[in-house]
Amino acid sequence: MKKIIVLLMVTCLVLPFVQDANAFGKKKKKKMPTEQTTLVRPPVKKTDPYAELLKGAKTVKGDFITLHNVKGKIFFEMPVKYFNREMLLASTMTASNNSMFCLNGFKSKDPMHIKFVMIDSTIYMCDVNTSATFDEKEAVRMEKVKKLNFLDPMRRKFKREAYNTDSTAVVFDASVLFNGGEPALAPIESQSSGLLQVSVTPKTDLTIVGEMKAFDDNIMVKSTFSYDYSMRIMMFDLGNGPLTIEATRTLLLLPEEKMRPRISDSRIGIFLTDKQYISNEEDGLQNYTLANRWRLEPKDMEAWKRGELVEPIKPIVYYIDDAFPELWRKAAKEGTLRWNKAFEKIGFKNVIQVRDFPKDDPEFDPDNLKYSCIRYVPSYTANAMGPSWVDPTTGEIINASVIVYNDVIKLNNQWRFVQTAQIDPSVRGKKLPDDIVYETLAYVIGHEVGHTLGLMHNMAASAAYPVDSLRSASFTQKYGTTPSIMDYARFNYVAQPEDKGVKLTPPDLGVYDEYAIKWLYCPIPEAVTPKDEIPTLESWIDEKVGDPCFRYGRQQLDARYDPSALEEDLGDDPIKAGNYGIKNLKYILSHLNEWIQDDPTAEHKAGLCKAIADQYVRYVNNVVMNVGGIYLNDVKEGTPGKKHQVVSKAVQKESLKWALKQFRNLSWLDNKELTSQFPLDMPLSLLTGNKLSVSILNSVMNVYAANVVADSKYSVEEYFDDLYLGVWDAALTGRKLTLHEKQLQRQVLALAIATIEQATSANAGARQKGFVSEVYAPSVGDICLYGLDETGIISRYQDIFQRIEDEYGRGYVAQNMKLTDYGKGYGWQQALPVQAVADFETYFYKMGSKLTVMLSTRMNSLPVEDRPHYQKILFAIQKLSKK
């Protein structure tokens, strides 16, 4: 009987085995189990979800997040205390089979600024909304405003799978962040807009989640992704095939105690973080920007106040890639450490530190967001770049990379040869000697490190020095070629062969560079808030107003008006600098066969000839920018200077006259002794003449703009009169035409016809493809001449992009390749829509009328061999006038 009672009790407790609990209360015949057939269930063991979930996991433990890999799935074990903390989630390219798509150490997208929030059993990954700021006096009201209007948007959700054993951490499946499921972390994506069309199809079955590491404030996971890709530039196929990319994802915990931000000033060139300010003191939301900078604080503030040199609490450390050749690595270290001189002038020592990639440190990984590195990329791109990434709350720079492409050495070689071979025998060869390689690479890397410290390009710097000072040994040895290495002022092309002891390179650091570092990093301990710093910061800039060495000139991409803020120029007088430079180019070209010996295919000589022609175009373009030029300055009320100041009438007239005279003798570019060794091609003089004519004729747009918005004394009518005198000088004086003057005259005629036909057509409002239709955005030639495309794609496929521009008009490539989106600074000067209101056809009609009368009356007195050319022009004008 006892056995039956026990059996009944067990059966009642174990409900899953009971089909009808009321059956035991019914009188029903049923065979009771015997002692031999009695079922006894073992005691139930309590399951451990944490242990069950992570059974067999590969685990790496960290003080921040512990990572578990369970059969390819990545689980976060995140301590509860880190929920609602701000973090950066970044994806860094690590390796690939195609360097066109993968730059080692580069982040193709800005890190995600996120936080994790747990509500009930769900974890949400949210973007942190930091755009709005407000006066601390209104904190109570504004906190409510922020909650209602500036939420942190939810991006993803995760299921809470388990707590750890002591319930201090939560486990959830975060695989989507590492297996390609999060688009914001994708190392590459299909691109169908613009001219460059890249199609990538992921091979999801080939995605591999690999090495994991966990540390005290970050975790990292490496993943490998495979694709099929194809790449086109419009109708031009650039190739297709398999693509494999390894990427490193880092989740970095940001400090709770934020760096005090520094509010920017548009009179100094710093990369920026955008903000909005909400306050009752102003009508409407106020947009402002924070300066991007590293967190630099003295270890001993009192010693710093006494004027002693002190070390920072946290130095800025760069790691040098062990893939560099030894000479390059040494140059990289020197170019990086030179910035310590600027920091020493504001009381810091050992701010910049440079270390080799550690060989025996298991924690080090160059693609971890914790480490800033100088990386080597074997690529055709002849360039280098220095991007950085920030905490969007404050603008604090968290990580930076200097990317040095292999073929920057080729660019250095050409620069040094075409700009300094007239005076420096050591560069007169196919390869640069080691000391010159070292010197030029140190400059290039020093420039890029400047970017990683927060400094933008300052294209006005090189215009500060008088041209003749660049021929002075004492001046150049002290100041170099420019007040800032953040300008594109390369080497001393002004120096003449007879000048002795002249320094040919930029300085290690210029006075502007030291001034910018002071403004950006010098502590202001008496200030409590960012606003408290403003009077001191403004006073530092006010002290330098009027001194051209400290003037900041924005790089001009979307529109180009300021002749003093250009790439690749030297000195304060482009005509004088151009005359010196052209004289040197002719000297170098005449000795090219003598200086370059070991070149059996003549490929190197051909490249140098093209580089000489390109350098010549830069000299002429620098002068042409005076025509209709407007000096642009950010001027604070109460300090000297004008925001817009037009180049004087005399300088504009002289510049146009000088540029047009170049067409009388371009044949010096066609050295037949050299070109006979090259593959069959059009003469360089004709190719160069075409570039120059486009540049000169486009200047009419700036002339018109200067008259409309800046009260120019040089009218559009005077410009056309001077253009007429310069272009048709040979006919007016009875002089024999040169081949290149004929080329220019044909271009003027074509532009006049296109302008008049477009103005008189039924479709007059449509955008024309002629010279002046898209003058402001840089041309393909300009992009390559001035290094405006840091990707190198346009330079590599220049012929294709040039064909597209020939079809669709100047500026089409720049706009569609998004070049004008580069940089996070104060924005670009927008192009003025003068074409919509300018009546250029009136002036071309007038020129045509004058030309008709002149040619009709002088035809018989013009050189016999030129008459067919002039008759053709006269016929075209008369035909146009009959329409």
- What is the percent of the chain with per-residue pLDDT over 90, rounded to a whole number? 67
Closest C-alpha among 660, 590, 592, 591 to residue 620? 660
Q: Which residues contact 768 (CB under 8 A, 6 or more apart)?
A: 754, 755, 758, 809
Average pLDDT, the chain: 88
772 pLDDT higher than 60: no
The answer to whether residues 11 and 155 belong to one domain is no
Q: What mean pLDDT comes out for the span 542-550?
A: 95
* Stretch (H or E) spanning 740: helix 739-760
Give yes or no for a contact between 252 and 217, defined as CB atoms under 8 angstroms apart.
Answer: yes
Q: Which residues contact 184 (CB under 8 A, 6 or more apart)?
A: 109, 112, 155
Q: 3-state secondary structure string, 275-330? A: EEEECCCCCCCEEEEEECECCCCECCHHHHHCCCCECECCCEEEEECCCCCHHHHH
Distances (CA, A) of 808 to 241, 263, 763, 792: 30, 42, 17, 21
Q: What mean pLDDT comes out for the span 55-64?
A: 94
Q: Which domain holds residue 83?
A: 52-257
Distances (CA, A) of 818 to 77, 384, 789, 811: 41, 19, 10, 11
The answer to whether residues 165 and 31 belong to one domain is no
Residue where one domain finishes, among candidates 211, 240, 257:
257
N-terminal to C-terminal alpha carbon distance within the chain: 123
How much of the chain is in helix, strand and coil states, percent to nearest 5? Answer: 40, 20, 40
- Dig out the tokens for 727 from the structure: 């272009």
Distances (CA, A) of 407 to 211, 350, 376, 492, 761: 32, 32, 11, 22, 49
* Stretch (H or E) spanning 816: helix 812-816
Q: What mean pLDDT comes out for the span 706-722?
A: 92
Residue 578 lies in a domain: no
Paired with 68 in beta bridges are 59, 75
For residue 44, the model assigns a pLDDT of 52
31 pLDDT band, cuts 50/70/90, is very low
Residue where one domain finishes, among candidates 231, 257, 283:
257
Pairing state between β 73-79 and 87-96: unpaired
Torsion sign over Cα 652, 658, 664, 665: negative
Best-predicted range by mean pLDDT (452-466, 769-783, 809-823): 452-466
815 pLDDT band, cuts 50/70/90, is confident
Give yes or no for a contact between 620 and 655, defined as CB atoms under 8 angstroms apart.
Answer: no
Residue 34 lies in a domain: yes
The answer to whether residues 75 and 182 belong to one domain is yes
814 pLDDT higher than 60: yes
d(CA 369, CA 352): 18
d(CA 245, CA 228): 11
User: How do residues 235-267 score in pLDDT, each as one tens digit?
Assistant: 788 889 999 999 999 999 999 999 999 999 999
Higher pLDDT, 378 or 742: 742
Residue 207 lies in a domain: yes
645 secondary structure, DSSP code: E
- What is the percent of the chain with per-residue pLDDT over 70, rounded to a whole number? 90
The answer to whether residues 106 and 30 belong to one domain is no
Cα dihedral 796, 671, 573, 519 in deg (nearest 10) = 30
The answer to whether residues 33 and 164 belong to one domain is no
For residue 656, the model assigns a pLDDT of 98
Residue 316 lies in a domain: no
For residue 513, the model assigns a pLDDT of 98
298 pLDDT higher than 50: yes
The answer to whether residues 101 and 3 belong to one domain is no
Q: What are phi and psi of 543, to 5 degrees?
A: -60, -25
d(CA 755, CA 773): 10
Torsion sign over Cα 128, 134, 136, 142: negative
The answer to whether residues 30 and 80 belong to one domain is no
Number of domains forming the structure of the chain: 2
The answer to whether residues 132 and 4 belong to one domain is no
Residue where one domain finishes, among candidates 208, 223, 257:
257
The answer to whether residues 106 and 146 belong to one domain is yes
Residue 20 lies in a domain: yes
The answer to whether residues 11 and 125 belong to one domain is no
For residue 681, the model assigns a pLDDT of 87
Least confident stretch, 10-19, 492-501, 601-610, 866-875 = 10-19
Name the 3-class secondary structure at 32.
coil
Q: What mean pLDDT comes out for the span 187-202?
A: 82
Residue 180 lies in a domain: yes
The answer to whether residues 67 and 21 belong to one domain is no
Residues in the chain, how many?
Answer: 883
d(CA 707, CA 563): 16
Q: Is 526 exposed, middle or buried (0-12, 13-18, 19+ CB in 10 A)?
A: exposed
Residue 205 lies in a domain: yes
pTM value is 0.89
Give yes or no for a contact between 208 and 214, defined as CB atoms under 8 angstroms apart.
Answer: no
User: How do residues 342-395 score in pLDDT, each as one tens digit?
Assistant: 999 999 999 999 999 999 898 899 999 999 999 998 888 888 999 999 999 999
Phi-psi region of 571 (alpha: psi -120 to 50; beta: other; left: phi over 0): left
- Residue 721: count other Cβ atoms within 10 Å of its Cβ: 16
Residue 398 lies in a domain: no
Name the 3-class secondary structure at 431.
coil
For residue 838, the model assigns a pLDDT of 80
Phi-psi region of 787 (alpha: psi -120 to 50; beta: other; left: phi over 0): left
For residue 287, the model assigns a pLDDT of 86
Q: What are phi and psi of 738, to 5 degrees?
A: -90, 165
For residue 32, the model assigns a pLDDT of 45
Residue that has been written with the tokens 């992570």 in this structure = 54
Give yes or no for a contact between 332 and 441, defined as CB atoms under 8 angstroms apart.
Answer: yes
Paired with 198 in beta bridges are 191, 231
583 pLDDT band, cuts 50/70/90, is very high
d(CA 319, CA 247): 19
82 pLDDT band, cuts 50/70/90, is very high
The answer to whether residues 122 and 32 belong to one domain is no
866 secondary structure, DSSP code: G
